[in-house]
Amino acid sequence: MAKKLVIKVTAGADAPERCSQAFTVAAVAAASGVEVSLWLTGESTWFALPGRAAEFELPHAAPLPDLIDGILTGGGTITVCTQCAARRDIEEKDLIEGARIAGAQVFVSEIMPDGVQALVY
Please write the tens of the pLDDT for every residue from 17-74: 999 999 999 999 999 999 999 999 999 999 999 999 999 999 999 999 999 999 999 9
Please tell me the predicted confidence (pLDDT) of residue 2: 60
**Cα gap 87→79, rounded to integer Å:** 15
**Cα gap 82→33, rounded to integer Å:** 28
Global pTM? 0.95
